[in-house]
Amino acid sequence: MKHTIDHLLRHSGLPRLEARMLLQAVSGYDHAALLMHGNECLSENQAAQWQQLLARRLAGEPMAYILGKREFYGRLFATTPATLIPRPETEHLVEAVLARIPPGGKVWDLGTGGGAVAVTLACERPDAAVFASDISKDALAVAGRNAATLGANVRFACGSWYQAFAPEQTGLLDIIVSNPPYIEADDPHLAQGDLRFEPAGALTDFADGLSAIRVLAAGARERLQANGWLLMEHGWNQGEAVRKILQDNGFAEVATEQDLAGLDRLSMGRWPGG
């Protein structure tokens, strides 16, 4: 039997917001139009599509993968299972970088995934030279697509951490930034919610959660200008450990900042040079 859009909105078994987003995707209506056409029924095609999307969501698949997009820092990013889903907490990392890029500065985003950080930086600061790398070719394909769609000028390379670009390709950088895999291997969150569907290698280092951060801190010393900054996102309980790693590697002005939930979310240090 045929149901109205309004009925589907209320009786899908999903939170209303999610039902609405899926119905918008299949109907092509925006929010206002969907509500105005609440008494209509979906076409047969649309109804079949709705059933498919609904089943996927009820099976736990993340909204961002079902819709193929997620907003980050006011822009829409294509999002596929090849990359981590952009998270609002990471906007804080972007802001901390934006506050530190000198005019015409050079930035490298390591482990860029779908490119949310690098592409946002390039869009916000067209004067900057933005490099971005990832070990996953599939992730880089998504990042490249996002850069093209959003008109961002980003230089991409594939490789593990600092191997992706040779020193002569980037020159000395003003900013090194990363949202690396930092979840501990045995963290139960990896088996819950959206994380079950995300690439494990983007979430966890399969060790103590700090191994990528150690590599990033050690390698940054040779790639940063004197007085350049290294900024890294990390878990709520890793602030102290990450500050110690930065200090042990000779960084100055080491500090941690909290996200909107008041949790430690990123740490940074300034490379004094030498």
Binding site for ligand GLN (CB under 6 A): 87, 179, 181-183, 195, 203, 233
Q: Which is nearer to ligand GLN, 105 or 235 (CB)?
A: 235
CB of 233 to ligand GLN, least distance (A): 6
Are the CB atoms for 231 and 175 separated by under 8 Å?
yes
Q: What is the distance between the alpha carbons of residues 22 and 235, in angstroms, rounded to a whole number?
A: 31
- Minimum distance from residue 179 beta carbon to ligand GLN (Å): 5
Rounded to an integer, what distance in angstroms lies between the CA atom of residue 26 and that of residue 47? 8
* CA atoms within a 13 Å half-sphere pointing along the CA-CB vector of 54: 19
Identify which of residues 66 and 117 has a Cβ nearer to ligand GLN in the complex.
Answer: 117
Closest approach of ligand GLN to the CB of residue 141, in Å: 20
Closer Cβ to ligand GLN, 12 or 178, answer by number = 178
Q: Which is nearer to ligand GLN, 19 or 195 (CB)?
A: 195
As measured in angstroms, the least distance from the Cβ of 182 to ligand GLN is 5
How far, in Å, CA of 148 to CA of 25, rounded? Answer: 23
CB 113 within 8 A of CB 145: no
- Collapse the DSSP code of 256 into the 3-class scheme (helix H, G, I; strand E, B; otherwise coil) and give the result: strand
